[in-house]
Structure 1
């Protein structure tokens, strides 16, 4: 167990989670990894200023102080959850869409596989990492960043995807701690559904761009116009190409450029979900 008195930071409890609060750190995911072998389930590192946040493909970014909520949640999957490891990223995303809807009347969607959008603009990103003990999974770490204010993305011209903030959507967050507590409570509720059909149904309902062709770069390096259709139980994406053929995509990245409505595609006018 962690000797809390020896740590540089404050400890609080939110929604049943032990939360380690730092004024500043490089990466909350890295901090959570450092504690992985010392703590029980449901532990959070929250940094008020994160200077070396990490995204997919090891992209690094610096959060503007006071403009983002940046934290990492360490979870220890029980045996029945290990069958659904591909759903843990969406666990965080669905919890956030639940909260945005219930508390702020915002209609948010999930851009497969790891971003939350409002009006087709990114308000949150999630990076999931797994730690191992030998050949066994030790923990899953969800690194979550939420744009609270427009100043959270000062380098907007360099962003790979259009961004928004809760401020831009008319929401003024007076207390980051209250927002974090509400989100952790929503995360607990969603975790209870992790392996359920309801979880998958809700994921499909929140899937973004179901009616639009988008440039999707797969990790073999090939980019093509695909239209998201639905999510499979293993977390892979069913997507339709412009010739009308369905593909199963396991790992890829969406681009915001050249988005085309499926209804205006020269090759097909059928809805992507059909």
Structure 2
């Protein structure tokens, strides 16, 4: 039972609240029964489970289990009402290969939006998600919670979107960009056999440099008085359309 917040191990766990340390160690922290169960059901590696005193959660047999005091758990927790269970998970690195359906995300800053985009791509049957530079960290605790476990079920890549788009187009993948200017209503375009969808920043949209790579620019008609759609909602409509 770890009881001191000054324990070196506790200090290492706390560092995982910071993106640079998550990237340096290749690990991240998740909280709650559902997310940990989803991680254990996937092919991601759960390195260690941290259990608050009095909790009865039992991890997989090959996972290290560490019990901690209430005070220690409060120190590492980032939720208002912690469930008393957390885990250190190792990031899974796989090489990017063009597939049939790809979601490309450019500079989305809100962790709730990014998490919802990942969750929706999983629900819509997309093959993978590429998170470009300028995006909030997909391994941010708020982003992870918003994915509701989909993070562990759909491959997530991080990198330069321009390079990824060139690879996709070389594999005859049609690239759609969600945009307002010089765009066609999405339903008027033929549905491609293989497609990638780019969605952009909540306020600025997709960078012009990326728009130049798009095979098609598409928009979703708005019939009421709303100025625009939330990026995750717009992406959901277009992803389900592309899935067919």
TM-score by length of 1: 0.28
| Structure (1 or 2) with the greater helix fraction | 2
TM-score by length of 2: 0.30
